[in-house]
A and B are shown apart, each in its own frame.
Chain A
Amino acid sequence: MSTQQPDMLPEHEHRGGEDQQPERLFSADTPPVEAIVQRFWETVRKSADVIVTLRQENTMISAQNAALRRSEKDLQQRMEDLLARIAVLDVPSGTVVENASDAVMLAEMRKSIDRTEDELKSVREANELVNAELQSMQESLTASEHRIVEAQEHLQDNSSLSEQLTAVKAELKARTKHFHEIQDSFQNAQDHRLGREALEMRLQELEQKSGLNDETALRIAELEEEVADLRQQLNRALAIVQMYRAAGLRHVEDPDLKDQMPLFGIQPASVPQGADVAKPTPETTYLTDAEIKILAERLDKVADQVAQLLGIS
């Protein structure tokens, strides 16, 4: 365009080429309008064909409907005529016979009967047509009933599917419940395992304590032995005391040791005899009352320990 370019530019350059990159702004990717209109034309033509076909069918159905209505009207009229003639023929025959002189009337009646028979034939034919129509209607009715049965079966299928779905839901619910029960039993087993571990720990503690009890029993046995030993010593001491008191002496000596040999130069105390017994000295007294008391106190302490060990208070 000469109006859009300076004078020095050749005309073909001012747009930079028609098929160059800048042209893409105005190049539509959509199909051309003519193609779209052509496709729409095809649709319109098909629609017009459908319209014509529907109009033809409608016309045929209307004509058939009119013919059926006319046939129905005609049949209705014939039926009414026949009913009227039957009413005429129902006149009592005695009356006719009494008027035997009127032979003409009888002949007319015979003619009338003949016509009636002819009309009856035509009515039978019309009746056959009606029966054929009824047959076709019956077939149509049977087909409709068949469709209803199919629809009912379809409904029943839907019902059975619904029942199956309900059953599956119930089964799923039961399985969920069973799963929860298994979870609970697993939890119980877990609790039992923990309880068992606690019991085992308690058992170990008791076993340890039982070991302590064994040690205590040994200690008790030792103490009992000590008690027996002390009791024996006490009895022996008391026997010595009794013996020397009976002799009026304060000297105490263990008679069991009188025959032992002295070791390392130590002279054992000799049992006083005769005049020695009559003159006891404090230096020769081996077990005084205080010592006996100390021994008794020691014995009491041992008894207390035994009582504590045995749980006797």
Chain B
Amino acid sequence: MSKAIRVTIGGKDLTLRGNDEEKIKRSVREVNLQVQHLQQTLREQSTPTLTVLAALNIAEKYLDVQDQSSKDVRFVSDELEKMTQYLERAWRQPLP
């Protein structure tokens, strides 16, 4: 059941719809933090520009996390494979 949620992003009021209100609020809070930080460092830029930059920063971090997640999955898979082989050796190797 989607619910209408009124939020303010970069000083602009918006009405959003979604199932997870808490998640939407957290996302809005993160975008606002990005925009506020950019406002502090880039005072001469307009709000749309700052919003686009914030979106780009968030997208870049998302891609970084995605890449890291893929690496972690590969690393864990490799390690699990090594552990399996190690245990199989312990089970099958001839005893002294």
Contact = CB atoms under 8 A, between A and B. Distances in A.
Genuine A/B complex: yes
Interface of A: 1, 4-6, 9, 13-17, 20-23, 25-26, 33-34, 37, 40-41, 44-45, 47-49, 51-52, 55-56, 59
Contacts of A47: 87, 90
B82 to A, nearest CB: 8
A5 B53 contact: yes
- Counting chain B residues whose Cβ lies within 8 A of the other chain, the interface size class is 20 to 34
Interface in B61-85: 61, 64-65, 72, 75-76, 79, 83
A278 to B, nearest CB: 141
B37 A48 contact: no
A19 B61 CA distance: 13
B87 A48 contact: yes
B87 to A, nearest CB: 6
Contact of B76 (A5, A20, A37, A51): A37
A281 to B, nearest CB: 133
Interface of B: 30, 33-34, 37-38, 41-42, 49, 53, 56-61, 64-65, 72, 75-76, 79, 83, 86-87, 89-91, 95
Majority SS of interface residues in chain B? Answer: helix
B31 to A, nearest CB: 9
Classify the secondary structure of A's interface with B. Answer: helix
Contacts of A34: 75
A16 B57 contact: yes
Given A6-B49, A52-B95, A16 B79 contact: no
A49 B86 CA distance: 11
Contact of B83 (A9, A41, A51): A41
27 contacts: A4-B53, A4-B60, A5-B53, A5-B56, A6-B53, A13-B41, A14-B53, A14-B56, A15-B57, A16-B41, A22-B30, A25-B58, A26-B64, A33-B75, A37-B75, A37-B76, A40-B79, A40-B83, A41-B83, A44-B83, A44-B86, A44-B87, A48-B87, A51-B87, A51-B90, A52-B90, A56-B95
B62 to A, nearest CB: 8
A311 to B, nearest CB: 95
